[in-house]
Amino acid sequence: MTAQIILFWLFAFLTCAGAILVAVSQNVVRMAFSLVLTLGSTAVLFLLLGADFVGATQLLVYVGGTLVLLVFGVMLTATGPFTRIKSSPADAILSGLIGVVFLFIVASTVTAVDWDGGNGVAQKIAMGTHAKAVEGGFNPTQQGNTTRPLGLSFLSLRADRDLKLGLPKELSGEINTAPVVPGMAAATPGTTLLPKTSALLSTGYLLPFEIVSVHLLVVLVGAAYLARTKRRATT
């Protein structure tokens, strides 16, 4: 047990404890501050993983920004009937069921993914025998290479389908080595470029992503409508 493992479990526990407190607590303000615990501990987990930038962003955006606004809103509205939220037993059972189903989905997803090609490397890292994991074929500098495919797919380019990135050669099909931009030098064989036949801008997540943004816009317009100053018709 290295210090890092102890810290990981400590903050993983705090993350879960905060999340449970949000659900269990009846006081709105205490719920908001339990969320601080959860989001702050998540940031520490990112820092422990060596993702400084993500951790700092988590702190700045969620804890420093969103939560301050949330608490601000809660303080302004938490009067009278809204201060304490008591849920009925039916609510508790229903939400518990949904929670269990969600936990099942997450757990099955996590266990279904072959994180390291069957080398058991992730398990070795989790057990703290990182040196052995490196021996077993784990290359720390090449991990975390999912960012580019994810970002590209939000721009409607699927790295696995449109760009044939990150796939074994036999799966990726014919690679087009002709220049993409006219006048640009042709790429050497072996580099990944746009394939000849695939339909571009079709298979990514651009449309769902934009729909979510429009949804947010609707929410903002609705909030502005609800919060507008109510003037009398006569004046």
Partner 1 sequence: MDTLFAANSLAEFFQALLALVGVPVSASTAYVIAVVTHVALVVGWFGLPAGLFIWAERKISARIQDRLGPTRVGGKFGWLQSLADGAKLIQKEDLVPKDADGLMFRMAPYIVVVASLAAYLALPFSDGWTAVALDTGVFLTLAVLSLEVLGVILAGYSSGSKWALFGAIRESAQMVSYEIPMALCALCPIVTAGTLNLNEVALLQSGGVWNWNILHPFNFFAFFVYFTCATASCKRAPFDLAEAESELVAGFLTEYSGFRWSLFFLAEYASMFLVSGLATVLFLGGWDDGLGILAGFKAAAPSGVGSFLANAIGMLFFLVKASVLVCVQIWVRWTLPRLRIDQVMTTCLKYLIPISCFLFAGTVAYPLVLVTMSGKTSIIGQPAGERLVQPKKAAGVSSAGATTESHLRITASGTEGGGR
Which residues of this chain interact with partner 1, rule CB under 8 A? Answer: 2-3, 27, 29-30, 33, 36, 40, 52-53, 55-57, 59-60, 63-65, 67-69, 71-72, 75-76, 141-142
Q: Tokens representing 156?
A: 């409607």
**DSSP-assigned letter for residue 136:** T
Which residues share a beta bridge with 84? 27
Question: Which residues are within 8 A (CB) of 11 and not within 5 positions of it... i.e. 6 or more apart?
Answer: 41, 44, 45, 48
Whole-number minimum distance, CB 74 to partner 1, in Å? 9
> Cα dihedral sign for 129, 134, 136, 142?
positive
CB nearer to partner 1: pick between 57 and 202 = 57
Nearer to partner 1, 60 or 221 (CB): 60
* In the complex, least distance from residue 58 CB atom to partner 1, rounded to whole angstroms: 8
Residue closer to partner 1 by CB (options 51, 206) is 51
- Rounded to a whole number of angstroms, the minimum distance from the CB of residue 57 to partner 1 is 7
Measured CA to CA in angstroms, residue 21 lies from 49, 94, 95, 204 at distances of: 25, 18, 15, 38
Residue 109 or 141 with smaller CB distance to partner 1: 141
Whole-angstrom Cα distance, residue 210 to residue 191? 31
Which residue's CB is nearer to partner 1, number 23 or number 75? 75
Q: How far is the CB of 186 from partner 1 (least distance, A)?
A: 24
Residues 6+ apart with CB under 8 A from 63: 36, 39, 40, 43
Q: Tell me the two tokens of residue 86.
A: 């008591």
Specify the residue, 142 or 197, whose C-beta has the smaller distance to partner 1. Answer: 142
Q: How far is the CB of 221 from partner 1 (least distance, A)?
A: 21
N- to C-terminal Cα separation, the chain? 72
Shortest spacing between CB 141 and partner 1, in angstroms: 5
